[in-house]
């Protein structure tokens, strides 16, 4: 498993507090003053601006009162010197500043004025007149909704579909949680400074950040040495060797046996998708235990799987004993049959310490189940925000307002390996905490979660530890969604991901 101590700075993810407290000591360790650090930030963002828009393009730089605004004034001065047509729009234009100020943002502002630069009120900004707009209004310290002139400006930028380059964080986005309590700028690119802030990688942030690039300003190594990352950002390249090459003499018994339990009348497709994902990711054998009324339908969908109807605990017992891992929930429903089956599987897995994955209606039954405090040490939960809310007995909006806190609460309550699904899925496991950098809006259709359930269980069956399987499955699932979505985000079906899942687990594509 990728250890936090052995990953690059680009993979390390921090809280806002960590960056705010750690950047000054890191700069001092590198003999860099905070004014020099601000100058480096402005220069780093300007470098990206030059790559995207060439002089003499028209540029608007929108500056706030804090350090983010100071970065903006430096960018404006550098752009003006390079031949861009620059207008600066300030929240408090022409504010009186003492020439003896020791505030770095104010010193950067005075340097802009000394170069002949002017300031206009943000209310006067007409974004359609500019080739690019630099958002330097508010930085990572903002944890409330934008108000007044700042909110009005961001509304104007968004309505005009302006080309916005964000400095460190799009204004209005909470860089710690990924939530947007009011309005936030839609950037085509965000230049994150010093280190990645966790809120830029998950939740609503995905609608606002655009392309995310990191500039460590020359202090990244020093910062990483003194600040332990809270999350690791994982992509497909980081998990390429997690499934070993098969030996020539391997047979199906060497690659595990998955049992998928679910599929009540009207929801047989869910177990079929989970079954197909488990097969396509390499599980040696896959069985399905389903409601008697759908047994023939499920069996006809995939001849390679073994399908049995379950009317009693006896029907299920032998199947559970043969399986290496049990996936409970796809198409399970919440009927009396569903609740009985849940209890039978839970008792078996807890008593035998068998790996099991709970998703979909399995999670909904779990939310009210008396056994939820004793699930055993080998359980994996894969809730979406609505299911997480039911597990925590809170509103789903509260989950989305702080996905990190919701994930931690789930971990505290259930002591499981947990994947909280959504844009920038989050994982907490025995191996650490991870942000999964894969996925696509093409995946906003039914059945995607069932594929993930089959994929996780199939990897566990092949011998991958649960803490690794939940990360690898989440990444390969998201990447398959990206690849399938390349043919059109609208109309992508869960089954469209299956060919890509097969290629990903075999290392044919990344």
Residue 356: which CATH number?
3.40.1190.20
Q: Do 191 and 276 sit in the same domain of this protein?
A: no
What is the domain-level CATH number for residue 200? 3.40.50.10260
- How far, in Å, CA of 126 to CA of 133, rounded? 10
Residues 166, 70, single domain; the answer is yes
Model pLDDT, residue 371 = 57
- Has residue 80 been placed in a domain? yes
| Confidence at 5, pLDDT banded by 50, 70, 90 | low
Residue 276 lies in a domain: yes
pLDDT band at residue 251 under the 50/70/90 scheme: very high
- Does any domain span residue 244? no
Is pLDDT of 334 > 70? yes
The number of folded domains in the chain is 2
Q: What is the mean pLDDT of the chain?
A: 95
Binding residues for K(+): 68, 135, 171
Domain co-membership, 400 together with 362: yes
The pLDDT value recorded for residue 376 is: 82
Question: Could you tell me which residues come within 8 angstroms of residue 486 by beta carbon, excluding any fewer than 6 positions away?
Answer: none
Tell whether 224 and 287 lie within a shared domain: no
Q: What pLDDT, on the 0 to 100 scale, is given for residue 244? A: 86
Percent of the chain with pLDDT over 70: 98
In the DSSP assignment, the letter for residue 227 is S
> What span, in angstroms and rounded, lies between the C-alpha atoms of 225 and 220?
9
Those residues with Cβ within 8 angstroms of residue 166's Cβ, 6 or more apart along the chain or in another chain: 135, 185, 187, 189, 190, 191, 209, 210
Of the candidates 287, 362, 277, the residue with the CA atom closest to the CA atom of residue 321: 287
Q: What is the pLDDT of residue 4?
A: 52
> Residue 56: is the preceding peptide bond cis (ω within 30°)?
yes
Closest to 300 measured CA to CA, from 329, 328, 263: 263
CA dist 395 and 392 (Å) reads: 9
Binding site per annotation, positions for AMP: 421-425, 449
- Closest-CA residue to 258 (of 315, 330, 323): 323
| Amino acid 339: pLDDT | 95
In this structure, are 301 and 368 located in the same domain?
A: yes
Full domain range(s) for residue 437: 256-505
Binned at pLDDT 50, 70 and 90, residue 377 comes out as confident
User: What residues are designated binding site?
Assistant: 67-71, 135, 139-145, 168, 171, 270, 331, 384, 421-425, 449-450
Q: Whole-prediction pTM value?
A: 0.95
Q: pLDDT tens, 212-246?
A: 999 999 999 999 999 999 999 999 988 988 898 89
Binding site for (6S)-NADPHX, by residue number, is 67-71, 139-145, 168, 270, 331, 384, 450
CA distances from 186 to 159, 207, 287 (A): 10, 7, 47
Given this model, what pLDDT does residue 372 score?
Answer: 55
Query: Could you tell me the pLDDT band of residue 312, with boundaries at 50, 70 and 90?
Result: very high
C-alpha span between 270 and 278 (Å, rounded)? 13
Same domain, 219 and 292: no
**pLDDT-derived band of residue 190, with 50, 70 and 90 as boundaries?**
very high
Under 8 Å between Cβ of 239 and 231: no
Do the domain assignments include residue 247? no
Give percent above pLDDT 90 in the chain.
Answer: 94
Specify whether 270 is located in the same domain as 196: no
């Amino acid at each position: 498993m990728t250890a936090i101590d052995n990953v690059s700075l680009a993979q390390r993810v921090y809280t806002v507090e960590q960056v705010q407290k750690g950047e000054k000591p890191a700069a001092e360790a590198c003999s860099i003053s905070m004014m020099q650090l601000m100058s480096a930030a402005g220069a780093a963002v300007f470098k990206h601006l030059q790559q995207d828009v060439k002089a003499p393009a028209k540029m608007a730089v929108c500056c706030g009162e804090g350090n983010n605004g100071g970065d903006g004034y430096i960018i404006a001065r550098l752009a003006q010197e390079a031949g861009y047509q620059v207008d600066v729009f300030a929240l408090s234009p022409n504010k009186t500043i003492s020439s003896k100020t020791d505030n770095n943002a104010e010193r950067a502002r005075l340097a802009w004025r000394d170069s002949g630069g002017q300031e206009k009120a943000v209310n006067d900004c007409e974004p359609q007149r500019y080739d690019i707009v630099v958002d330097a209004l508010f930085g990572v310290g903002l944890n409330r909704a934008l108000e007044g002139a700042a909110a009005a400006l961001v509304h104007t930028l968004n309505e005009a579909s302006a080309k916005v380059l964000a400095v460190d964080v799009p204004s209005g986005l909470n860089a710690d949680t990924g939530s947007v309590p009011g309005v936030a700028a839609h950037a085509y690119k965000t230049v994150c400074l010093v280190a990645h802030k966790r809120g830029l990688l998950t939740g609503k942030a995905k609608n606002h950040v655009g392309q995310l690039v990191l500039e460590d300003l020359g202090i990244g190594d020093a910062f990483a040495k003194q600040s332990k990352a809270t999350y690791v950002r994982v992509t497909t390249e980081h998990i390429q060797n997690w499934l070993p090459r098969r030996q020539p003499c391997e047979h199906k018994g060497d690659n595990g046996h998955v049992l998928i339990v679910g599929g009540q009348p009207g929801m047989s497709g869910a177990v079929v998708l989970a079954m197909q994902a488990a097969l396509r990711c390499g599980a040696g054998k896959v069985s399905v235990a389903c409601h008697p009324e759908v047994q023939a339908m499920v069996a006809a969908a995939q001849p390679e799987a073994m399908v049995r109807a379950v009317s009693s605990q006896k029907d299920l017992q032998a199947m559970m004993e043969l399986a290496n891992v049990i996936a409970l929930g796809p198409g399970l429903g919440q009927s009396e049959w569903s609740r009985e089956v849940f209890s039978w599987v839970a008792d078996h897995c807890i008593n035998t310490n068998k790996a099991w994955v709970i998703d979909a209606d399995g999670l909904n039954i779990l939310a009210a189940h008396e056994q939820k405090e004793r699930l055993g040490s080998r359980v994996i939960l894969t809730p979406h925000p609505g299911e997480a809310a039911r597990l925590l007995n809170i509103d789903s909006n509260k989950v989305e307002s702080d996905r990190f806190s919701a994930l931690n609460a789930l971990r505290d309550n259930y002591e499981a390996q947990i994947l909280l699904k959504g844009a920038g899925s989050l994982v907490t496991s025995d191996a650490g905490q991870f942000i999964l950098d894969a996925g696509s809006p093409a995946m906003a259709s039914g059945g995607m979660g069932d594929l993930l359930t089959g994929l996780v269980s199939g990897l566990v069956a092949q011998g991958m530890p649960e803490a690794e399987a939940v990360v690898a499955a989440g990444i390969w699932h998201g990447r398959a969604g990206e690849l399938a979505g390349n043919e059109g985000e609208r109309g992508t079906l869960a089954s469209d991901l299956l060919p890509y899942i097969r290629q990903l687990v075999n290392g044919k594509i990344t």
